[in-house]
């Protein structure tokens, strides 16, 4: 246990140092920086999921902004991102390979399963593409109409909550909510969001913690009620749902995110140009609206902003994991 905490502390410190400006200085965007004709965009999940969908949206939309360059999505699922991370970290830093890292695979995963790849030292951040909120949801027929009503009930009797997997960011949200409010929440892991929603609708679990994109359809059909969403502000997809912070639980003001990383040593002009492409896409109202409809709040940040977000997320997750009983995140 002591060794695990040491590793987490060291990782958080290294991440914070990188974000504090001990890494590369900010470079002006280099519009003339040239990418190879073929760029591999590695996704740490199987085809069809949210990360894969976002990667393909970006690849298609970025192509016209980078004439002569084609992005090819390369799915390398497994081990909560370890396989994809290792692959990208070992590639040449020539702009031919980038990783679609997530808060789960790039920040949380390394804290739970320390591997041979460092999420800070072995990568060059390019741009924070998008954020996605997570919601606590119950059936529309549930007697709990507000977050406080659900918490009050869970203080008296355990309430089950389904997620898309043990050790996932959604699992972490449930642990944080329980710790912050004294609610008795029992985790029920599933292999995906669809299974968790099916069991919620069938009454096999009392609630679910899932991304707003996964819950959107059933919410609009009136089958599911969202009690609160994560993040510092309300999500654009479901603007009528208040945040946890608005309702007295500020510990859940962080969201999941997706960002692009190159191997360590990727030239700064290429990173800046990729960030410029992401920023330009965010200025396209049609593109932003399409992503919002899928549950993503587009960001399109600078490389340094992604480094800071990674540091912030790692710090948050480190505190949570350090106070979580050993083995809790694996079930």
pLDDT tens digits for 140-162? 999 999 999 999 999 999 999 99
Mind listing the pLDDT tens digit for each residue in 49-100?
778 889 999 999 999 999 999 999 999 987 778 889 999 999 999 999 999 9
Report the length, in residues, of the chain. Answer: 331
DSSP category for residue 283: T
Tell me the CATH number at 171.
Answer: 3.40.190.10
Same domain? For 68 and 149 the reply is: no
Cα–Cα distance measured from residue 79 to residue 82, given in angstroms and rounded to the nearest whole number? 5
Same domain? For 299 and 238 the reply is: no
Q: Which domain holds residue 266?
A: 2-132+255-330
Closest residue by Cα to residue 120 from 256, 268, 17, 259: 17
Same domain? For 126 and 175 the reply is: no
Same domain? For 79 and 123 the reply is: yes
Instruction: Write down the pTM of the prediction.
Output: 0.77
Same domain? For 320 and 224 the reply is: no
Domain end, chosen from 252, 273, 295, is at: 252
């Amino acid at each position: 246990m002591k060794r695990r905490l040491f590793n987490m502390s060291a990782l958080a410190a290294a991440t914070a140092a990188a974000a504090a400006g001990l890494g590369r200085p900010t470079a002006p965007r280099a519009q003339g920086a040239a990418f190879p004709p073929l760029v591999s965009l590695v996704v740490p999940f199987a085809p069809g999921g949210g990360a894969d969908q976002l990667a393909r949206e970006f690849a298609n939309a970025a192509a016209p902004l980078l004439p002569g360059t084609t992005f090819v999505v390369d799915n390398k699922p497994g081990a909560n991102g370890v396989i994809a991370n290792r692959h990208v970290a070992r590639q040449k830093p020539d702009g031919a390979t980038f990783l679609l890292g997530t808060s789960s695979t790039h920040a949380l995963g390394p804290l739970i399963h320390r591997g041979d790849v460092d999420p800070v030292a072995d990568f060059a951040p390019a741009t924070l593409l998008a954020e996605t909120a997570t919601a606590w949801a119950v059936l529309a027929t549930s007697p709990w109409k507000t977050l406080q009503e659900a918490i009050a009930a869970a203080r008296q009797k355990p309430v089950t909550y389904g997620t898309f997997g043990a050790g996932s960011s959604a699992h972490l949200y449930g642990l944080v909510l329980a710790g912050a409010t004294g609610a008795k929440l029992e985790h029920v892991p599933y292999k995906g969001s669809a299974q968790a929603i099916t069991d919620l609708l069938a009454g096999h679990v009392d609630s679910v913690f899932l991304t707003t994109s996964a819950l959107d359809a059933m919410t609009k059909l009136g089958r599911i009620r969202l009690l609160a969403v994560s993040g510092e502000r309300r999500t654009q997809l479901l603007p009528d749902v208040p945040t946890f912070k608005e309702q007295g639980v500020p510990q859940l003001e962080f969201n999941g995110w997706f960002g692009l990383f190159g191997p360590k040593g990727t030239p700064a002009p290429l990173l800046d140009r990729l960030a410029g492409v992401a920023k330009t896409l965010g200025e396209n109202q049609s593109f932003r609206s399409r992503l919002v409809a899928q549950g993503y709040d587009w960001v399109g940040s600078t490389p340094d902003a992604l480094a800071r977000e990674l540091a912030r997320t790692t710090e948050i997750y480190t505190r949570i994991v350090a106070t979580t009983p050993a083995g809790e995140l694996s079930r």
